[in-house]
Amino acid sequence: MNFKSTLRLVIVIAFTASIQQLLYSQKTQSDDHCFNCHEVLDGRLKKPADLFKKDIHHQKGVTCAGCHGGISSEEDQDKAMDTLEGFIRVPKGRSINKVCAKCHKKQSDAFLKSFHGSDTKGKQPIIVNCIVCHGIHNIVPVKNKNSAVNGANIVKTCSKCHSNAQFMKKYNPGLNIDQFEKYKTSGHGKKVFSGDNKAANCASCHGNHDIKKVNDPNSKVYFSNVPETCNKCHGDSTYMKQYNIPTDQYTKYKGSIHGVALLEKGNMNAPNCTNCHGNHGASVPETKSISLICGSCHIQNSLLYEESPHKSAFSKEKKNDCVVCHGNHGISKPGDEMLGSGEKSVCIKCHVNNDKGFIAAVLMKNMIDSLLKEMESANHSIYLAESMGMDLSEAKFEWAEINEALMIARTGTHFGHTDKFVSSLKNGFKLTENAKVISEQAVNDFYKRRNWLAYSLIFSIIIFAALFLKLRKIEKMRNI
């Protein structure tokens, strides 16, 4: 078959389909007398028919009676609208969902278990119903650009309630009403409003019919569920291909110190995606803001970093502050091996042999290693003294201060200079030495007490033997 023949065939098929659709629509219209009647009326009674012409239900052959009850095929108005034939006039409240559930049961069941489908005050009606989101008489398929629940439209649909302070006050006065404004500034929002319907909208994260409260453990945006929800898109290499964004963030996060704390240990103080990227206003953190984001949890480290030479150096080279040394999604637990000049050192990524930073890094690593050895020695002395039953409460108090000094020194590495670092470690060495002295003195006291006990026992034995001999002598003299 040549091109012209193929083209003729396509035209004929398209024309035939159009005629069939037209005849189908005319047949539907002629059979639905409710629609026919309202179409010739005026004002508010005509509006539903005008809207319904483009409604997906009308196109699929659903008559007015499908939702309102009655008999659409009956020309007599009284018979068509007879309540004995199931005519319910305008459905309201929960009855709207019951009508929709006749065809859309799965969606209705999910909705009635959702927060929107619940009755928060124990009275009718429920918070929202199907028509609030999907519309009335003008419902089109979700993928249609004119659908109220498609792409950029769903964000506007949700904001009708969630940006309305008076409405939200009825159900949750503490809930912010600026989500829509934040979303417009987000990476997701900018793409959606530029015409990209693949970017995340409200339903992408919260769900659609099955929306749960944020603090419900079954919610897609419950704190510990957020990483997996984000990964639905960001872990899909095919989906993310056009954006040129890596898709290994979730895998890295799961193995990170943050991910393990949250996902394995259930520590809700550990950060998830939204702590760093935001939620409704989600975006990639700018270089200048990363230290502030990390600093919202790691306050002391951030304050020291702001005064360090690294701050100005990284800013000049447009490097991402904390990320340079710690990474981002795959952050490991910080260790002393990050200092110095070893294979795992992060210092040597920038500093070359024997420059000022290199020397400082080696000094810090050597001093920490030395203190750790001293702490090990002191700990052994304390253990030995305790095993002898000696009271080491004073040495244990010193031990707590030693750990604090070590922690301060490790934190002090963010300052970038050796002065505060050395000061903290010197105090650590002093405390360690004092703990060793106390524990060693306790051991010496133990041996002194043991020796005294031994001497006392020997003296007691000598006295006992002398008394015994004396008594024997007295007894012999009596017998004489």
| Packing angle of the helix pair 418-479, 356-387 (nearest 10 deg) | 20
Residue written as tokens 């999910």? Answer: 110
- The predicted pLDDT at position 17 comes to 45
Dihedral angle sign, alpha carbons of residues 467, 469, 474, 478: positive
Contact 350, 357 (CB under 8 A): yes
Q: Residues 199, 191: contact at Cβ < 8 Å?
A: yes
At 191, list the tokens.
């793409």
Q: Does a structural domain hold residue 196?
A: no
The pLDDT of residue 233 is: 96
- Averages of pLDDT over runs of 10 residues in the chain (480 residues) are 50 44 44 90 92 93 93 89 90 88 94 83 71 94 92 93 92 91 95 92 95 95 97 95 93 97 96 95 82 91 90 88 93 94 92 90 93 89 83 79 87 85 85 86 82 84 84 76
444 part of a folded domain: yes
Does residue 154 sit in helix, strand or coil? helix
* Distance of alpha carbon 86 from alpha carbon 83, whole angstroms: 5
Structure confidence at residue 422 (pLDDT): 85
Q: How far is CA 232 from CA 135, 225, 235, 237, 270, in A?
A: 28, 11, 6, 10, 21
The verdict on residue 377 lying in a domain is yes
**How many domains are there within the chain?**
1
Identify whether 460 is part of a domain. Answer: yes
Nearest to 192 by CA among 227, 225, 159, 235: 159
- Contacts of residue 55, defined as CB under 8 A and 6 or more positions apart, other chains included, come to 137, 138, 139, 140
**Which of these, 473, 474, 337, lies nearest to 410 by C-alpha position?**
337
List the one residue out of 336, 340, 304, 337 whose CA is nearest residue 322: 304
Tokens of 321: 């502050």
The amino acid occupying position 194 is S
403 within a domain of the structure (yes/no): yes
Other Cβ atoms less than 10 A from the Cβ of 380: the count is: 12
452: containing domain:
362-479
Q: What's the CA angle centered on 303, arms 300 and 308, to 5 degrees?
A: 120
Phi/psi of residue 298, nearest 5 degrees = -95, 70
Report residue 267 CA to chain centroid gap: 11
Q: Which residue has the tokens 């080279």?
A: 317
Residue 217 is assigned to a structural domain of this protein: no
Q: Rounded distance, CA 224 to CA 262, Å?
A: 7
Kindly report the length of the chain.
480
**Cis, bond preceding 125 (omega within 30 deg of 0):** yes
Distance, CA of 469 to CA of 450 (rounded, Å)? 28
d(CA 160, CA 480): 125
265 occurs within a structural domain: no
Asked if residue 418 is part of any domain, the answer here is yes
pTM confidence score: 0.78
Would the CA dihedral through 364, 367, 369, 371 be positive or negative?
A: negative
Tokens found for residue 361: 């890094």
Q: Extract the tokens encoding 313.
A: 């150096």
Question: Exposure pattern of 65-93 as b/e (b: 16+ CB <10 Å)?
Answer: bbbbbbbbebeeeeebbeeeeebbeebee
Residue 459, domain CATH? 1.20.140
- Helix residue ranges per DSSP H, 235-347: 237-240, 249-255, 257-259, 273-277, 290-295, 299-306, 309-316, 322-326
Closest CA to 101 of 112, 90, 86: 112
